[in-house]
Structure 1
């Protein structure tokens, strides 16, 4: 993939607002990654919902034509979204990327104990009223084994939808320079027409960390790119810089640290415990899964392959395949959270494209 991939996605190419475009709605839209992907497939996104204030500011910066509702989805009335659908037009697509933390293996309160778990069921209430032709659900793989998923399947059936077979996908197989395993499942209104959608990855050349980051300005600790407000290196402590300098470039890990630079908390642990902490990314591999701590070397393998620093917000955004024109609101921590929580834009773009081939009515 060209190093200009992230620059070539102009706002115009991400989708206009012409009257002949199919209509879509984005639930749990976050900062707007999914909306960006849907637009790139030729849809007109008319409404979006999220409860997070900062995400809402970011969303409006990038998608000002979309009616955005900053609401708890449980209190949202279908009529508040229905007014956004042009007269005479049918809602073709509803994207549902509900909070994944309740179903994550990293969450000790996962499942019914997490009060966010039932939020995904609100999509059924809205689907009953708005009747989208196709619903796409994106979440962590753990959702497929949950009791909530079975409730979702039954509720959708009562609303006239058939839920397909959950598919486990890795974003790295869909043009994203990052390993990120997700669950994708579709629901359609036409009984008897549900079928597995094609997710062919054979022959797809993986996009690497080098593809994503190599053309960006090299930075030292505390340096910034004067032309890019997101490409700013955090200021690292002296001990952190000493550790990074001792870790080999291009994929090195903290296993290379001499005893005097090892963290006390790591000395008596197995090498496999927290092995990615202070690790460097590999130029010709894909990045690890980005989290909300993706610009902190103490939170995972988030050190630059060459420079002695953590990756910047710009680099994290590129690894999530946000186009460079995308603007984020908030402070550095809030932006990192938005980026880490996002659905990779290119992954979702390709998934929607595959679904449209399987379900041409959507």
Structure 2
């Protein structure tokens, strides 16, 4: 049954980071669902053998994958959009239509009863009634053994980024024989992953050697601000009064305090967002150069390999990168799920995603 790896479906797959991590761990990802056009184009470029259903999940019939899963589904991954539950979302509302997307996974669970259901989201989801109702439904209706939600930091999994996430694993007929493979891994810093990159040209052009490694064009005022930000971790508090935004001049103001801040070569990066190449959106300035990080640098900080293909304009690619689950983190978690699914006599798996 495992000649081609345990069978997995990837819901809300985005540009394919989760599928990448699963494949690196040995899973056979046969199907995926998403509706965002640019992300789906990127997904197809990197996972051409996967059946990607590009439409609103509310309109997807789980039977569209039935011919690919003749012997049962081993793993269902649910990474529903997290914005309604994010701590950065100041307009949280239960009326947000995205908040109900988690329930769309129920029809896939009802149809296939996967041996493992894996959920990844922001930590805030675990405290909602939506989450409680979903986990109670898993146990009541199908007898899943539902684990406690775990709060994890991608930096503990070899990702050069401080990214807090919540994961949940529910199993049926299998037992996770070891804890999820998210114990402390050697720290990887920003310098470790971007230190070898050359100084990028300014602006995107057709003749770039690396289509993702180019610097944004900053205004003269923002360039002047960057010159005053100390290298390797400096922040906007170092700006002279004449260069501060009016909303930042109050010394007690801490709103979005990372804006105009620099990353540090010796530390992990802050959480990358969809504005990860914009210095006005967070601590996204290069550690020692007067510019925002490039798309290539952002992709490496998210642990994407350089041969991963991204389609779209610069803003669309930044959104795909910022929204992604770090593939390296997913790989490490997937190893334990793989071990649980494999026969005891054949439970060893590689632990190097680069191999």
TM-score, structure 2 as length reference: 0.90
Deviation per CA, 1:89-127, whole angstroms, max 9, x where unpaired? 332111110111121122244352211112112212211
CA contact (8 A) 1:165 1:196 kept: no
1:285 correspondence with 2:267: yes
1:217 correspondence with 2:198: yes
Partner of 1:270: 252
Between 267-276 and 40-49, the greater mean CA deviation after superposition: 267-276
Task: Give the Cα–Cα distance (whole angstroms) in 1 for the partners of residues 196 and 176 of structure 2.
Answer: 44
Partner of 1:165: 148
1:33 correspondence with 2:14: no
Deviation per CA, 1:274-333, whole angstroms, max 9, x where unpaired? 221110000010000000000000011000001100001111111111111111111111
Partner of 1:23: 7
- SS of 1:135's partner is strand
Aligned residues: 341
Correspondence list, 1:95-114, <5 A: 95-110=77-92, 112-114=94-96
Partner of 2:353: none
CA contact (8 A) 1:220 1:308 kept: no
How far does residue 350 in structure 1 lie from its aligned partner after superposition? 0.4
Change (3 A) 1:149 1:230: same
| TM-align CA RMSD | 2.1
CA contact (8 A) 2:6 2:28 kept: yes
Partner of 2:351: none
- SS of 1:150's partner is helix
Partner of 2:45: 61
CA contact (8 A) 1:197 1:358 kept: no
Task: Give the Cα–Cα distance (whole angstroms) in 1 for the partners of residues 247 and 338 of structure 2.
Answer: 50
Task: Give the Cα–Cα distance (whole angstroms) in 2 for the partners of residues 167 and 39 of structure 1.
Answer: 23
How far does residue 221 in structure 1 lie from its aligned partner after superposition? 4.7
Residue from 123, 128, 143 that aligns with 1:146: 128
Deviation per CA, 1:99-157, whole angstroms, max 9, x where unpaired? 11121122244352211112112212211111211111000001111000111112212
CA contact (8 A) 2:25 2:338 kept: no
Task: Give the Cα–Cα distance (whole angstroms) in 2 for the partners of residues 113 and 36 of structure 1.
Answer: 33
- SS of 2:22's partner is helix
Residue from 90, 101, 111 that aligns with 1:119: 101
The unaligned stretches of length 5 or more in structure 1 are 1-17
Task: Give the Cα–Cα distance (whole angstroms) in 2 for the partners of residues 180 and 39 of structure 1.
Answer: 22
Task: Give the Cα–Cα distance (whole angstroms) in 2 for the partners of residues 254 and 108 of structure 1.
Answer: 23
